[in-house]
């Protein structure tokens, strides 16, 4: 990192390294591990940006009370977060409480494709249990209350001396209307409200978007007056994980048969269908992931949407990047020549710069996903997002891809 010229690094603390059972006895070895990492970063003048929760719930809490489905998680998360403030807050000045709560709520409790694999789609054919109509919203509600509770603790007990900030990192696809029709334009607007608005509106306005209230009804949890007061204003900055743009149409344009098979839960509630390419003009270049088409202008549209809807809040791009395939037939020397990645970052950063300089968006920082090739959730090791190639067959050797030199040159000139 120091060789590249980086001045900040975002990493996540694993809850179970601090509390192996989710609660109870603190694991000092975990505290020591992160102290060493933080001190090593600071010794190289690299500022730590620390995420407290990146999907790795201690198994004990899932077994004990079904994790994020139970309100008890709010108190347990607060104890874990405060333990981190006490141990690391003298050096960590930027905290990200949660990474992509929308992904957890929808993929974990609506489609069942991510942990803990709960859903009611397709008659439970691939989920043992769950309710796609209610559980995503319960989980999302508990995420929001967890952040607000932690922010309240930090502001009352630690902010005056530690002088840090707390934000949240949210996955934000830009939803572009498939056509210029009113129905598709409104569908794209709803899709964004059911994605970003779901987890940001409560922090700025004290409640969920009106479209969610109207379409979900009593299945959407309600904030008490005290909870709304706790939640509203509890974000110091908004973290945006942005990769791609999807094209959106009103779900009424899809056949009822397809709707019944493919849409349930939050997707049906949204009343919108989104695909990662323009059906009428399928010319966009794609990364390895099926969902990741390369659409640089979406970055600028996301930034302006956030600026206009939430009145110019401080924003960090907490993730942006693309993946290549981990193809064993491609020689390592060729895999290191990642020209597509260089163009991706050049074009996305150009649009980000325009949103700052020309549009007045308040963007404070930018993090590439990712420094190293990594385990990419359900894609495993088939996907390579890293600037550095990790040789899984040779003692995990790290080899710089061409994009490393490109970023070194960029950072030296900035």
Show which residues are catalytic: 100, 319
- Beta-strand ranges (E) seen in 276-396 are 315-319, 324-325, 363-366, 383-384, 388-391
Give CA angle at 360 (362, 46), nearest 5°.
35
Which residue in 372, 402, 405 sits closest to 389, CA to CA? 372
Question: Which residue, 409, 370, 410, 408, is CA-closest to 389?
Answer: 370
Report the alpha-carbon distance of residue 51 to residue 10 in Å, rounded.
7
Instruction: Return the percent helix, strand and coil in the chain, to nearest 5.
Output: 50, 15, 35
Angle at 401 between CA 400 and CA 404, to 5 degrees: 75
- If you count them, how many residues does the chain have? 414
For 206, the token pair is 């004290």
Closest CA to 2 of 404, 413, 414, 353: 404
User: DSSP string covering 181-249, please?
Assistant: SHHHHHHHHHHHIIIIIHHHHHHHHSS--HHHHHHHGGGS----HHHHHHHTT--SEEEEE---EEEEE
Question: Six-digit token pair at 189?
Answer: 């607007």
User: 74 by DSSP, 3-state: which?
Assistant: helix
Residue 205 in tokens: 């306005």
The residues, ordered by sequence, that sit 6+ positions from 165 with a Cβ below 8 Å of its Cβ are 93, 94, 95, 236, 237
Phi, psi of 44 (to 5 degrees): -105, 15
Neighbouring C-alpha atoms within 13 Å toward the C-beta of 153: 20
Is the Cβ–Cβ distance between 194 and 246 less than 8 Å?
A: no
Provide φ and ψ at 337, rounded to 5°: -95, 80
d(CA 169, CA 358): 25
């Amino acid at each position: 990192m120091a060789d590249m010229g980086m001045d900040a690094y975002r990493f996540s603390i694993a809850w179970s390294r601090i509390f192996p059972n989710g609660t109870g006895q603190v694991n000092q070895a975990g505290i020591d591990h992160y102290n060493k990492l933080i001190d090593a970063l600071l010794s190289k003048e690299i500022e730590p940006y620390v995420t407290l929760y990146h999907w790795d719930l201690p198994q004990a809490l899932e077994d004990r009370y079904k994790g994020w489905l139970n309100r008890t998680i709010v108190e347990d998360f607060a104890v874990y977060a405060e333990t981190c403030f006490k141990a690391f807050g003298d050096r960590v000045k930027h905290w990200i409480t949660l990474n992509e709560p929308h992904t957890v709520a929808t993929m974990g409790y609506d489609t069942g494709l991510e942990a803990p694999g709960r859903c009611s789609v397709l008659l439970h054919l691939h989920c043992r249990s769950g309710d796609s109509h209610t559980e995503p919203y319960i989980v999302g509600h508990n995420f929001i209350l967890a952040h607000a509770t932690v922010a309240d603790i930090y502001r009352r007990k630690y902010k005056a001396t530690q002088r840090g900030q707390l934000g949240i990192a949210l996955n934000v696809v830009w939803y572009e209307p498939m056509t210029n029709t009113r129905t598709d334009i409104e569908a794209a607007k709803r899709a964004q409200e059911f994605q970003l608005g779901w987890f940001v509106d409560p922090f700025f306005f004290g409640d969920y978007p009106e479209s969610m209230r109207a379409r979900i009804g009593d299945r959407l949890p309600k904030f008490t007056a005290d909870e709304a007061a706790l939640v509203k204003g509890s974000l110091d900055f908004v973290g945006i994980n942005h990769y791609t743009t999807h094209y959106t149409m009103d779900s009424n344009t899809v056949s009822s048969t397809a709707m019944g098979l493919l849409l349930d839960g939050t997707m049906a509630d949204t009343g919108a269908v989104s695909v990662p390419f323009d059906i009428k003009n399928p010319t966009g270049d794609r990364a390895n992931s099926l969902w990741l088409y390369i659409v640089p202008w979406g970055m600028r549209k996301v930034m302006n949407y956030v600026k206009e809807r939430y009145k110019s809040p401080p924003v960090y791009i907490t993730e942006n990047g693309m993946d290549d395939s981990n193809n064993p037939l491609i020689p390592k020397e060729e895999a290191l020549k990642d020209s597509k990645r260089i163009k991706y970052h050049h074009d996305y950063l150009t649009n980000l710069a325009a949103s700052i300089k020309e549009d007045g968006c308040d963007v404070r920082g930018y993090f590439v996903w990712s420094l190293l090739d990594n385990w990419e959730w359900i894609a495993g090791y088939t996907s390579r997002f890293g600037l550095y190639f990790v040789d899984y067959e040779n003692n995990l050797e790290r080899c710089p891809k061409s994009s490393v030199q490109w970023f070194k040159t960029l950072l030296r000139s900035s």
